[in-house]
Amino acid sequence: MSTFKVFSGTKSRYVAEDIAHALGIELGKMNISHFADGEFEVCFEESVRGVDVYLVQSTFPNCDNLMELLLMIDAAKRASAKSVNAVIPYFGWARQDRKDKPRVSIASKLVADLLSAAGVTSILTMDLHADQIQGFFDVPVNHLYASTIFVPYIQSMNLENMVIASPDVGGAKRANSYAKYFDVPLVLCHKQRAAANVVDKMTIIGDVTDKNVIIIDDMIDTGGTICKAAQLMKDNGAKSVRALASHAVMSGNAAEKITNSVLDEVILTNSFPFDNSKCPKATILNVADLFAGTIKRVLNNESISSQYLFK
């Protein structure tokens, strides 16, 4: 492999350390110093000249995380790194991927432009909210899928009469991939929103009677949709209901909602820093090996498609 180093932003260090360990290296030394007014400065404390640099930082709110990543990219570029690769386990702002009403921004396109302007060479991320976001970048995007992590866990449960469900029509493609892989029925939920993060009405398309249901989604934010879908499944005769989501955003009292819901278990990854002690029903799976394996393949100019069980 070529010479490479892995560095981390402040809030993603917990996963960056695991990625570095899986690669058999120490996490690079970097200092982020803060000024009294909230401004901060990024400084690499070791040489990156001629090095393939991998910067691990998710871009979840607040905006300091995105700004940290932009400054890290700029600093690495100005320090003559051979390549500057952003490793973004959770790509924030991705829900704003189109103009769904007049006079709104397309935030995910803006973030892509900011990263490109800062000097990023490539992007490595997982389970984007919408696949088309890859096209917002003018640099290579290596888009990973958490199915590689989730499938072995689902198999280990040995569930009989399993059904895969999508909490909304927009997630049907993702859920259908799981249903086809396990050769089980697919159930859809049709939801109507009263406002952002507020579900007004939900109906089921499909049969869940005496079934073990797994609801598939890319993220859990407020927990409202997942909890409402789980209750609807139970009301329609489901034997058990589990939820599986790539990103544990878990805003506000989401952990409390899920704990008090009819859900039997919520399976998440650590792409987002969530303390599962707040939610006894949460199981957290580590994405470090998935990202480390992909970095190895990229450095060796190998195909990464072997990382995917399915998309």
> Considering all CA atoms of the chain, what is the largest pairwise distance in Å, rounded to the nearest integer?
61
Give dist(CA 89, CA 56) in Å, integer: 8
Active site residues: 191
Burial track 113-129 (b if 16+ CB lie within 10 A, e otherwise): ebbbebbbbbbbbbbbb
Whether the CA torsion 90, 163, 240, 209 is positive or negative: it is positive
Give dist(CA 303, CA 74) in Å, integer: 28
Residue 91 CA, chain-centre distance (Å), reads 7
**Quick one: which of 89, 73, 90, 92 has its CA closest to 81?**
73
Give dist(CA 138, CA 117) in Å, integer: 10
